[in-house]
Amino acid sequence: MNPKSERNLIYVIVSISLLIGSFYAYTTKGYEMKYLIAAAFAFGLFAVNIFLYRKNVGFKDDLLENADERDLYIVMKSTQSTLKFMNNICLVFGVFFLMLYSITNNLLFMIVGLTLFALIVIMFITLLITQSYYEKNS
Amino acid sequence: MKNKIREYRLKKGMTQQQLAEAVHVSTRTIISLEQGKYNPSLMLAYRLALVFGTTIEDLYCLEENMKEEEKKYEPKK
């Protein structure tokens, strides 16, 4: 078994575990809708992974094998735009939830707001690390 | 960036598909190059120049494009 197959097999096993876990939660915790939705997502993940395992490729390998330099440039630009967009979304919703907390005094809003700000900080630190890496290696 | 890819391709009687296959990229990339929306890597520019039997300088009107770019660096009055 080559490393690609091993990796895909691990993904299949993880997605089966998620599927079983979601079904178990659905049947034992009072047939709640959220567990059924989780099971549907897990099934989707399982289907994709079993397909990739049989085909013996990963998404990234598949993309790289069929991509020319412009495709890679587009992937890079769209990833950059997505990151910027997510950063702005986190900032706007973070402020929004903290404002909601100040109005309603509901602790849940503060937790959500702070989680979003923590995400911004993590993204910023990751950006600094990757920038420093590419500054040295490009 | 302004270039002569379309001009050279038509002169050679090649389709975009044929040119794409010759330089190992997709047809979409050739369309984008001809429209000047995408600037190729040095190696792709060299491959294109070889296919057309010319130089990168000529294919990409480098002298003309550089003059245009120099304007950006001129001190503002």
Report the length, in residues, of chain B.
77
8-state DSSP, B37: S
| Rg (alpha carbons) of chain A, rounded to whole number | 20
Which residue in A1, A49, A44, A2 sits closest to A19, CA to CA? A44
A-B CB pairs within 8 A amount to 18
Q: Is any Cβ of chain A less than 8 angstroms from the Cβ of B25? A: yes
Per-residue pLDDT, averaged over B2-11, amounts to: 94
Q: Is any Cβ of chain A less than 8 angstroms from the Cβ of B42? A: no
| Full pLDDT tens readout for chain A, 138 residues | 566 677 778 888 888 888 888 888 888 887 788 888 888 888 888 888 888 887 766 556 666 667 789 999 998 999 999 999 999 999 999 999 999 999 999 999 999 999 999 999 999 999 999 999 999 988
pTM: 0.65
Question: Rounded to whole angstroms, how far apart are CA atoms A90 and A81?
Answer: 14
Report the length, in residues, of chain A.
138
Residue A35 DSSP SS3: helix
Per residue in B33-46, pLDDT (tens digit) is 999 999 999 999 99
Question: Rounded to whole angstroms, how far apart are CA atoms B8 and B25?
Answer: 17
Question: Rounded to whole angstroms, how far apart are CA atoms B65 and B47?
Answer: 20
> B40 is written with which tokens?
């190729």
Q: Is any Cβ of chain B less than 8 angstroms from the Cβ of A68? A: yes
Whether A70 sits inside 8 A of B38 (CB atoms) is yes
Residues 6+ apart with CB under 8 A from A83: A123
